[in-house]
């Protein structure tokens, strides 16, 4: 066909330049007629070397070039022929010759040729191979995705899964990550070379066929790797291995399970690289190719090394976090009470909700007079440092409770300690991470008195207290609260007192408590109250499920309390006259009451003497009215109350002194004693242990 023959060269420099381009230019040039058949090609371009030109001329271009997507390319070229709008730098994939195992990238530019009259003559196509550039871009894209998507959490297994999700299908058709089992527990990784008996856990797997992809071992399987294989060699000298897989490889015999999976998947290429940090071995990454025919080259191996380095750092960070979290959780368990204390008029249960913070705590503290202090709080922050501060604050609360302070006064003293700790932290070197973390804690402290059926509470931060009566009515009490502990020196705190009927359920939390469910109403409270026969442990689980289902952020620590009426026959109260005869009257009343309670005679004698000294001091130094109360609980408690604010002092009298031994005698006879102040005056109390 005449139009398929190369046109005769024209005279002049234009023709010379055209001949030079088609015979010497490294850029692939193609001249197509209006039927998209090849009229002339550049024989100097590398892609045309060793290609017979006669096999190309006169044939349509999509018939002679191994286009990966010929329909798309044909539509592109026809569009230029029809409307004349050129296409510049369009990326086209193709195979070279008979090599269909590898795809090459070409940047194609297409221009329409036409006469001055407008008649269309054909197309000029310029082609530049950019395979190396595009593969480099693809590797950079893989690295970018790895930096963005791998290591987003401090979880070792999830980090491994993120890696295989990036690797398949961009780098491999099958990806496996195995991690030293001790690393998942946060332990120190072993030094290289990895001993052969160290077990590895299969942490992540992904294949092109999804869960149906053949696997040597299931996820979570823990076992040592058989040796010698490329995997054990990579873990020995910390160098990657790139292997072309076939049935003649002798090392496949050493690991028959893995060999069977390789054959079942049809894998033909493998690259395995160690996950290492500072000459320690964290694990192993193995990438296989099944669909992509080309083997792994040096550039691929370098890419896998970079993926392994990034992933190893992320795994090591997650391991360190796991280790610190484990240590913090262990220390927290040791610092918290083993079980909440139960009293005759009170039973308690606790609930620590899942949280990143490790500084939550709870406590139930027995107080004189059958009262119980309820404490719940949490330190802002996480890790071992938060747990350490929690232990310090809990110890201070325990110590301050021995002084029998009112809740608001105790919080003020506790805030002084927190402020001191915050000031100490502020003096740390600026390079210390703690220097940039302000110390603060939220806290709630309540005192329940079963004899008066009252509860006094104060808080720091935003605590809440819910009281559910036995009849099902629920009331959320506003807890007077100041700033977070440690955030401001001299912060004022306030307390409130309210009545708690016997048989009620109290829920004290360190932060605002949602209405126990996504609905936000109080129906959940009524349901809890209607389950009076259930144990607090079962109710605690119900509260956990309800709070966890709420979309709003909830508390991290709760105390659940069920109140009971204190037996009336185990309390005796008398009003005493403000007269010298008060001590004798008190001895007689106590003697008769202890006989009814069948208290041992020796204990009863000591109690009479204690009461006599306390009443004598109240008559001499106090102010009327005087009240005596004796409580028969886990210990025998004696209380003498008057309206004077004067403080008693224990002193040692000399031999010639006629008085001054009262409190000294009381301190010797009682197991414990102290003074409690209130707005109405003071109460001096003693506690005696009861034999048996």
pLDDT for position 666: 86
Rounded distance between C-alpha atoms, residue 173 and residue 657, angstroms: 98
- DSSP class of residue 606 equals H
Q: Would the CATH topology of 2-129 be identical to that of 135-324?
A: yes
Closest CA to 128 of 110, 102, 101: 110
pLDDT for position 410: 95
Rounded distance between C-alpha atoms, residue 119 and residue 113, angstroms: 9
pLDDT for position 651: 58
pLDDT above 90 covers what percent of the chain? Answer: 36
Q: What would the pLDDT profile of 206-226 be if each residue is shown by its tens digit?
A: 987 776 778 889 999 999 999
Q: What would the pLDDT profile of 223-272 be if each residue is shown by its tens digit?
A: 999 989 999 999 999 999 999 998 778 888 889 999 999 999 999 999 99
Collapsing DSSP states into helix, strand and coil, what is residue 42? coil
- Residues 6 or more apart in contact with residue 188 via CB below 8 angstroms: 182, 280
Q: Is there a contact between 574 and 626 (Cβ–Cβ < 8 Å)?
A: no
The CATH class that applies to domain 337-563 reads alpha beta
More confident residue, 525 or 577: 577
Q: Is there a contact between 560 and 505 (Cβ–Cβ < 8 Å)?
A: yes
Rounded distance between C-alpha atoms, residue 568 and residue 632, angstroms: 10
Rounded distance between C-alpha atoms, residue 526 and residue 471, angstroms: 9
Termini Cα distance of the chain: 122
Q: Does 516 have pLDDT greater than 60?
A: no
Tokens of 59: 């044939």
Q: Does 677 have pLDDT greater than 60?
A: yes
Q: Could you tell me the CATH superfamily of domain 135-324?
A: GAF domain (3.30.450.40)
pLDDT for position 5: 47
Q: Does 658 have pLDDT greater than 50?
A: no
Mean pLDDT of 59-68: 78
The beta strands (E) that lie in 293-345 are given as none
Q: Does 601 have pLDDT greater than 60?
A: yes
Q: What would the pLDDT profile of 249-258 be if each residue is shown by its tens digit?
A: 888 888 999 9
Q: Does 665 have pLDDT greater than 90?
A: no
* Of 500-509, 534-543, 670-679, minimum mean pLDDT range: 534-543
Closest CA to 469 of 430, 423, 525: 525
Distances (CA, A) of 444 to 392, 477, 514: 16, 13, 17
pLDDT above 70 covers what percent of the chain? Answer: 86
Q: What would the pLDDT profile of 450-471 be if each residue is shown by its tens digit?
A: 999 999 999 998 888 888 887 7
Rounded distance between C-alpha atoms, residue 381 and residue 389, angstroms: 10
Q: Which residues of 569-598 are buried (b: 16+ CB within 10 A; e: fewer)?
A: eebbeeebeeeeebbeebbebbeebbeeee
pLDDT for position 12: 65
- DSSP class of residue 662 equals H
Q: What would the pLDDT profile of 547-559 be if each residue is shown by its tens digit?
A: 766 656 656 788 9
pLDDT for position 655: 46
Tokens of 189: 């990784």
Q: What would the pLDDT profile of 41-51 be if each residue is shown by its tens digit?
A: 887 665 555 56
Instruction: Give the pLDDT band (50/70/90) at residue 57.
Output: confident
* Of 145-149, 474-478, 617-621, minimum mean pLDDT range: 474-478
Structural element, H or E, at residue 574:
strand 571-576
pLDDT for position 51: 63
Rounded distance between C-alpha atoms, residue 598 and residue 207, angstroms: 79
pLDDT for position 2: 40
**DSSP secondary structure string, 607-618?**
HHHHHHHHHHHH
Domain edges within the chain: 2-129, 135-324, 337-563, 568-688
pLDDT for position 23: 66
What Rg value do the Cα atoms of the chain yield, rounded?
Answer: 42
Rounded distance between C-alpha atoms, residue 289 and residue 359, angstroms: 48
pLDDT for position 247: 74
pLDDT for position 520: 52
Q: What would the pLDDT profile of 268-316 be if each residue is shown by its tens digit?
A: 999 999 999 988 999 999 999 998 878 899 999 999 999 999 999 999 9
CATH number of the domain at 2-129, out of 1.10.540.10, 3.40.50.1360, 3.30.450.20, 2.60.120.10? 3.30.450.20
pLDDT for position 649: 65
Please report where in the chains the tokens 């160098």 appear, as a residue: 239
Mean pLDDT of 548-573: 81
Q: What would the pLDDT profile of 386-440 be if each residue is shown by its tens digit?
A: 888 899 999 999 999 998 899 999 999 999 999 999 888 888 887 777 777 788 8
Tokens of 174: 């099958």
Phi, psi for 51 (deg, rounded to 5): -110, 120
Q: Does 134 have pLDDT greater than 50?
A: yes
Q: Does 641 have pLDDT greater than 60?
A: yes
Q: What would the pLDDT profile of 312-368 be if each residue is shown by its tens digit?
A: 999 999 999 888 888 877 787 888 887 766 677 888 888 887 666 668 889 999 999
Is the pTM for the entire model greater than 0.85?
Answer: no
Mean pLDDT of 158-167: 95
Instruction: Give the pLDDT band (50/70/90) at residue 652.
Output: low
Rounded distance between C-alpha atoms, residue 435 and residue 424, angstroms: 9
Q: Does 15 have pLDDT greater than 70?
A: no
Q: What is the fold of 568-688?
A: Heat Shock Protein 90 (3.30.565)
Q: Does 515 have pLDDT greater than 80?
A: no
pLDDT for position 3: 44
Q: Is there a contact between 164 and 308 (Cβ–Cβ < 8 Å)?
A: no
Q: What is the mean pLDDT of the chain?
A: 84
């Amino acid at each position: 066909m005449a139009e398929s023959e190369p046109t005769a060269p024209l005279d002049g420099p234009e023709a010379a330049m055209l001949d030079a381009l088609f015979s010497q230019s490294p850029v692939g040039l193609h001249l197509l007629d209006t039927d998209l058949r090849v009229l002339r090609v550049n024989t100097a371009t590398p892609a045309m070397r060793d290609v017979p030109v006669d096999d190309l001329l006169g044939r349509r271009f999509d018939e002679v070039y191994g286009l990966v997507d010929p329909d798309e390319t044909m539509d592109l070229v026809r569009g230029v022929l029809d409307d004349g709008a050129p296409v510049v730098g369009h990326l086209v994939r193709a195979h070279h010759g008979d090599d269909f195992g590898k795809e090459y990238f070409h940047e194609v530019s297409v221009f329409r040729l036409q006469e001055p009259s407008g008649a269309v003559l054909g197309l000029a196509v310029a082609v530049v191979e950019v395979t190396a550039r595009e593969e480099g871009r693809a590797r950079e894209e893989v690295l970018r995705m790895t930096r963005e998507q791998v290591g987003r959490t401090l979880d070792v297994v999830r980090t491994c899964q993120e890696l295989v999700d990036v690797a398949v299908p961009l780098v491999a058709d099958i990806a496996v990550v195995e991690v030293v089992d001790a690393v998942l527990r946060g332990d120190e990784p072993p030094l290289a070379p990895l001993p052969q008996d160290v077990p590895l856990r299969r942490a992540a797997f992904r294949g092109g066929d999804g869960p149906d992809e053949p696997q040597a071992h299931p996820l979570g399987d823990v076992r040592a790797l058989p040796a010698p294989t490329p995997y054990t060699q990579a873990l020995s000298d910390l160098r990657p291995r790139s292997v072309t897989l076939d049935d003649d490889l002798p090392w496949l015999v050493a690991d028959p399970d893995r060999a069977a999976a390789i054959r079942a998947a049809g894998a033909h290429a493998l690259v395995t690289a160690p996950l290492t940090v500072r000459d320690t071995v964290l694990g192993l990454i193995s990438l296989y190719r099944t669909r992509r025919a080309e083997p792994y080259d040096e550039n691929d191996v370098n890419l896998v090394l970079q993926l392994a380095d990034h992933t190893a750092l992320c795994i090591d960070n997650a391991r360190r976090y796991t280790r610190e979290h484990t240590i913090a959780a262990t220390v927290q368990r040791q610092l918290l009470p083993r079980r909440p204390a139960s009293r005759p008029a009170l039973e308690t249960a606790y609930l620590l909700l899942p949280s990143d913070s490790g500084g939550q705590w709870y406590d139930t503290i027995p107080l004189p007079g059958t009262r119980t202090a309820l404490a719940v709080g949490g330190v802002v922050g996480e890790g071992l440092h938060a747990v350490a501060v929690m232990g310090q604050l809990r110890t201070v609360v325990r110590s301050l409770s021995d002084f029998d302070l009112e809740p608001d006064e105790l919080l003020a003293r506790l805030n002084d300690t927190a402020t001191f700790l915050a000031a100490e932290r502020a003096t740390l070197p600026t390079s210390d991470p703690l220097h940039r973390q302000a110390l603060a804690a939220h806290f709630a402290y309540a005192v329940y008195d079963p004899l008066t059926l009252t509860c006094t509470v104060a808080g720091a931060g935003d605590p809440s207290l819910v009281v559910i009566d036995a009849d099902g009515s629920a009331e959320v009490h506003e807890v007077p609260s100041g700033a977070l502990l440690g955030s401001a020196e001299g912060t004022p705190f306030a307390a409130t007192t309210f009545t708690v009927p016997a048989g009620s359920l109290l829920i004290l939390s360190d932060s605002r408590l949602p209405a126990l469910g996504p609905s936000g109403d109080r129906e959940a409270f009524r349901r809890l109250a209607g389950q009076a026969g259930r144990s607090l442990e079962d109710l605690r689980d119900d509260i956990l499920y309800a709070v966890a289902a709420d979309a709003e952020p909830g508390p991290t620590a709760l105390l659940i309390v069920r109140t009971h009426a204190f037996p009336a026959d185990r309390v005796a109260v008398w009003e005493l006259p403000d007269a010298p005869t008060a001590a004798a009257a008190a001895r007689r009343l106590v003697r008769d009451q202890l006989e009814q309670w069948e208290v041992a005679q020796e204990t009863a004698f000591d109690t009479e003497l204690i009461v006599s000294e306390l009443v004598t001091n109240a008559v001499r130094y106090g102010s009327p009215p005087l009240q005596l109360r004796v409580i028969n609980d886990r210990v025998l408690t004696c209380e003498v109350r008057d309206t004077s604010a004067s403080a008693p002092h224990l002193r040692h009298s000399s031999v010639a002194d006629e008085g001054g031994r009262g409190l000294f005698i009381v301190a010797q006879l009682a197991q414990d004693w102290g003074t409690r102040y209130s707005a109405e005056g003071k109460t001096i109390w003693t506690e005696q242990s009861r034999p048996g």
